[in-house]
C-alpha cells in the first residue's frame, strides 16, 4: 500500500466499477519512482533502491497505476502496464495486476522453492541485459 503514498498527486476518478462482484471506484494515477523508497520503512529501502536504480537506468521515472477502492475504503485491485525503453537490445513492456479480497480471513502461505522463483534483477535483465546489480 506504500505505493499509493508515492503517487504524483494527480488522481483521475474513472468511475464506478466492480472487483470480484463487489462495488468499487476505479482511479488512475502516476507513481513517482523517486518518491517510492521514502514511503517504506528504513529496513526495506536499500533493496528497493537497487531495483529503482535499475529502472532509472532504463529511463523510467514514473509508472502509470490503476487502483480500485471498495465502499469500505480498502484497496481491492491495483494494476500497471509500462514500457521499457529500447536500450539497444530491444524494448518491451511489463504488466502486473493484483486483486485483494477475503479481508479478515486467516491465510496460510506456502513459500515456493527457490528454483521456482526469479529475482527482479534477473527479470529486468531480460529487458536490458547490460543493467545488472
User: How confident is residue 62, by pLDDT bands cut at 50, 70 and 90?
Assistant: confident
| Residue 14 phi, psi (nearest 5) | -80, -40
The full DSSP string for 20-43 is TTEEEEEEEEEEEHHHHGGGS-HH
pTM of the full structure: 0.67
pLDDT in tens, 118-127: 776 666 655 5
So what's the pLDDT on residue 92?
78
pLDDT in tens, 63-103: 888 999 999 999 999 998 877 777 676 677 888 899 999 99
At 1, list the grid cell.
500500500
- Three-state SS string over 56-120 comes to HHCCCCEEEEEEEEECCCCEEEEEEEEEECCCCCCCEEEEEEEECCCCCCCCCCCCCCHHHCCCH
Amino acid at each position: 500500500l506504500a505505493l499509493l503514498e508515492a503517487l504524483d498527486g494527480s488522481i483521475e476518478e474513472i468511475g464506478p466499477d466492480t472487483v470480484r462482484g463487489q462495488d468499487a471506484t476505479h482511479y488512475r494515477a502516476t507513481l513517482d519512482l523517486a518518491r517510492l523508497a521514502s514511503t517504506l520503512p528504513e529496513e526495506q529501502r536499500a533493496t528497493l533502491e537497487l531495483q529503482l536504480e535499475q529502472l532509472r537506468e532504463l529511463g523510467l521515472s514514473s509508472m502509470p497505476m490503476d487502483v480500485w477502492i471498495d465502499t469500505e475504503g480498502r484497496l481491492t485491485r491495483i494494476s500497471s502496464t509500462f514500457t521499457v525503453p529500447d536500450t539497444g537490445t530491444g524494448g518491451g513492456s511489463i504488466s502486473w495486476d493484483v486483486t485483494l479480497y477475503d479481508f479478515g480471513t486467516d491465510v496460510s502461505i506456502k513459500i515456493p522453492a527457490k528454483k521456482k522463483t526469479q529475482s527482479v534483477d534477473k527479470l529486468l535483465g531480460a529487458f536490458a541485459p547490460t543493467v545488472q546489480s
